[in-house]
Amino acid sequence: MKACEALSSAQTGATMQVLLVLALLVACRAAARNLSFPQGFMFGAGTAAYQVEGAWNTSGKGESIWDRLTHARLSSDPSAETADVAADSYHRYREDVLAAKNLGLDFYRFSISWPRILPKGDLSFVNPDGINYYNNLINELKRNNIEPLVTMYHWDLPQHLQDLGGLASDIIIDYFEDYARLLFTHFGDRVKWWTTFNEPLSFVTGYSSAWFAPGVDAPGVGGYLVAHNILKAHARVYHLYRQHFRGEQKGKVSITLNLNYPQPKTSSPADHDATERYLQFNLGWFAHPIYSSEGDYPAIMKERIANNSRAEGLPRSRLPEFGEHWVKYIRGTHDFYGMNIYSSYYVSAPNTSETSSGISFANDMGPVLLEQDPSWPAGSISNFRYAPFGLRKMLKWVSDNYHGVPVLVTENGWVDRGEMNDSMRIRYLVNHYAALLDAVHLDHVTVLGHSVWSLIDTFEWGSYENKYGLYRVDYKDPRRARQARASAEVLAAITRTRRLPEQYLDQE
């Protein structure tokens, strides 16, 4: 750029010249940034079964732990909301596929409802209507050249399996393998992208909080048991696919893990240590056994939980041990890394030696202070602020720590109260794509694609108040009409040109 070269010799005496120089500086920065998506990059958007399907008890579907939880809430609070109908995607899936097509998406990420396929969770009855529904959805996607990316477990465990002990019992490993085999058998000829579990860090809270299904009160114990079993179940399913299906079906299997990027607040060793502890407890817990070269839980977790358990007078650590066989069996069970990320935090070590009492995950992790910069624009829920730098840094952290594993961003999106002219969602998406492209072009991270959360508005695990959808769902309309928000138009233009429009980029 000639103008950029001339910039260095520009005379800046007069006001006009100063303004011109500033404008040129901005233009030069934008020109320097590579805004093109790499060859083969996959654009997607997602939903999950319980959040959109509705039809909770029709066509043979069994009850899930989320049906049970939301109905229990409703019985004591008439204003509580459920996903009994939600966006009614069970009947209106064609409209979802049309929305994905209008956006020019390469893939649609959705989950399969385990109790819709297996009403009791086990193989005692395979529900033909459930199989038909997902066949229809997958076929409709394929007809429109959209790849299905399927999550096997997005939190809606069959209630019957919960009654037998649920994810805290190791019976789940066999049942999950049976379920996965059925999915590969029925859908694997057309589905090439699978993830086993979505966000274990989120669903383990069902064992320490009444807010989250199944609402079991076992802090500092239940979550570790659940994580242990789902890591084994994940590995079983990975090996099952590798041994019996991959040769013919040629697909990929992995897991989706979530964390908002934790950045040390200062360069002090204390803040660095706190951040590392936070990362290992919240991400390494699941990622280290699968993606690291040593396998197993992070050493810092094993050590701290064993020490606390000893001090509590327990005969063994509350964190179960894998043993050598399982460490080897789980290690390497991935074909990519599924990343969910929405925001960032500053992490520091609090200036106090005070600790809260009681057995809990938080006490095992030890004191950390999480803060967000109040100048970061806020979404409609707490701890949700706009900080796109975190996406680039998180991608780099995962790539650096886990041998350059290819990453698929499986969730990323903006939450608001449902504006149709959703300019903040546009800003969020364009600048997160830009951060992703910086990770690709400047940090050399392999990023396979990105999935916006969410394709349409969804039931946000308790209410419909907060919206992520590129498409609005009119919940007052019995037809649940879908309507494109302004962000949908911008995304359609991006998928068409495979390049980011400069007009929405933040000027740093």
Binder among 67, 199, 335, 416 for ligand NOJ (CB under 6 A): 199
* Nearest residue (CB) to ligand NOJ, 308 versus 410: 410
* Nearest residue (CB) to ligand NOJ, 109 versus 181: 109
> Nearest 5°: phi and psi at 84?
-55, -35
> Nearest 5°: phi and psi at 129?
-70, -35
Binder among 35, 45, 48, 221 for ligand NOJ (CB under 6 A): 48
CA angle 92, 160, 241 (to 5 degrees): 70
Subset of residues 367 to 396 that bind ligand NOJ, contact rule: CB under 6 A: none
Binder among 198, 260, 412, 431 for ligand NOJ (CB under 6 A): 198
Minimum separation from the CB atom of position 195 to ligand NOJ (A):
11
Subset of residues 319 to 348 that bind ligand NOJ, contact rule: CB under 6 A: 340
User: CA dist 207 to 68, 73, 470, Å?
Assistant: 15, 17, 32
User: Any residues with CB less than 8 A from the CB of 113 and at least 6 apart, and which?
Assistant: 49, 50, 53, 61, 64, 130, 156
Strands 482-484 and 471-473: antiparallel
Sign of CA dihedral 272, 274, 277, 283: negative
| CA–CA gap between residue 327 and residue 310 (Å, rounded) | 23
* Nearest residue (CB) to ligand NOJ, 274 versus 391: 391
* Nearest residue (CB) to ligand NOJ, 159 versus 205: 205
Q: Which amino acid is at 398?
A: V
Minimum separation from the CB atom of position 199 to ligand NOJ (A):
5
Minimum separation from the CB atom of position 499 to ligand NOJ (A):
28
Residues designated as active site: 199, 411
- With left for phi above 0 and alpha for psi between -120 and 50, is residue 49 left, alpha or beta? alpha
| Of 230, 224, 232, the residue nearest 325 (C-alpha) | 232
User: Any residues with CB less than 8 A from the CB of 62 and at least 6 apart, and which?
Assistant: 115, 116, 118, 119, 120, 121, 127, 158, 159, 160
Minimum separation from the CB atom of position 448 to ligand NOJ (A):
18
| CA–CA gap between residue 150 and residue 180 (Å, rounded) | 11
User: Any residues with CB less than 8 A from the CB of 191 and at least 6 apart, and which?
Assistant: 138, 148, 149, 150, 183, 251
User: 463: how many CB neighbours lie within 10 A of its CB?
Assistant: 10
# chain residues binding ligand NOJ, by CB under 6 A: 9
Kindly state whether residue 205 participates in binding ligand NOJ, applying the rule CB under 6 A: no
| CA–CA gap between residue 49 and residue 58 (Å, rounded) | 14
* Nearest residue (CB) to ligand NOJ, 264 versus 338: 338
Subset of residues 213 to 232 that bind ligand NOJ, contact rule: CB under 6 A: none
* Nearest residue (CB) to ligand NOJ, 460 versus 489: 460
Dihedral angle of Cα 116, 130, 57, 476, to the nearest 10 degrees = 110
* Nearest residue (CB) to ligand NOJ, 285 versus 453: 453
* Nearest residue (CB) to ligand NOJ, 329 versus 468: 468
User: 433: how many CB neighbours lie within 10 A of its CB?
Assistant: 26
Q: Which residues pair with 43 in a beta bridge?
A: 450
User: Helices marked H in 188-295 — which ranges?
Assistant: 200-203, 222-244, 246-249, 269-279, 285-291
Minimum separation from the CB atom of position 49 to ligand NOJ (A):
10
Binding mask 399-428 for ligand NOJ (x = CB under 6 A): ------------x-----------------
Minimum separation from the CB atom of position 322 to ligand NOJ (A):
26
Binding mask 450-469 for ligand NOJ (x = CB under 6 A): ---x----x-x---------
Binding mask 51-80 for ligand NOJ (x = CB under 6 A): x-----------------------------
Q: Which amino acid is at 467?
A: K
Binding mask 96-125 for ligand NOJ (x = CB under 6 A): ------------------------------
Residues forming contacts to ligand NOJ in the complex (CB under 6 A) are 48, 51, 198-199, 340, 411, 453, 458, 460
